[in-house]
Amino acid sequence: MTFSISLTVNGVRRDVELDNPRVTLLDLLRERLQLTGTKKGCDRGQCGACTVLVDGRRINSCLALALSHDGADIRTIEGVAEGGHLHPVQEAFIAHDALQCGFCTPGQIMSAIGLIQEGQTDGDPERVREGMSGNLCRCSAYAGITEAVLDAQKKLAEAGGTDAGRRDAA
């Protein structure tokens, strides 16, 4: 038996036939749609490496069955930079050295974008740390991650609006 779903991934409609109902959103992205920027660190929602935005909200894609997201709008790390320009969060991650090995970085960045959109941190480092604590980093680039999120948040606020914020989109 096969299952048909259609998703919008980074603005592109994808019609997918699944031969197995157990395919997770993460494995769909990585192994079937070849969008390997999203990483698998634990496959059980404990590390956050697989964080993507589904209808604007951050989720662990390893805990989501692809089938239950028929019709959803998915944004992954591949869809963050646009028109050759990095997103302010991406730029801030480089500037503050908020990464080392880089494996958790796509999840951290998606989580940071989600967190900024949630609008709950009010520029408070302690609340950023708390809000980013679903994303493990074994290299422990946490200090840089917190700085980067605060910096990007400030720049996005200055640019007006919490979501867009891309230099070319303004």
Size, binding site for other proteins by CB under 8 A: 61
Alpha-carbon distance of 170 to 160, in angstroms, equals 9
Residue partners of 12: CB distance under 8 A and separation at least 6: none
Interaction residues for other proteins, span 89-148 (CB under 8 A) = 90-91, 93-95, 97, 99-106, 109, 126, 128-130, 132-146
Describe the strand order of the beta sheet including 57-60 as a list of residue ranges: 12-18, 3-9, 73-75, 51-54, 57-60
Is 156 a residue that touches other proteins (CB under 8 A)? Answer: no
Kindly tell me which residue out of 15, 19, 122, 158 binds other proteins, with binding defined by CB under 8 A: 19
User: How many other C-beta atoms can be found within 10 angstroms of the C-beta atom of residue 4?
Assistant: 10
How far from 135 is each of 26, 102, 106, CA to CA, in Å? 16, 13, 10
Choice between 73 and 78, CB closer to other proteins: 78
Is 154 a residue that touches other proteins (CB under 8 A)? Answer: no
Residues that bind other proteins (CB under 8 A): 19-20, 22-23, 27, 30-31, 34-44, 46-47, 49, 76-78, 80-81, 86, 90-91, 93-95, 97, 99-106, 109, 126, 128-130, 132-146
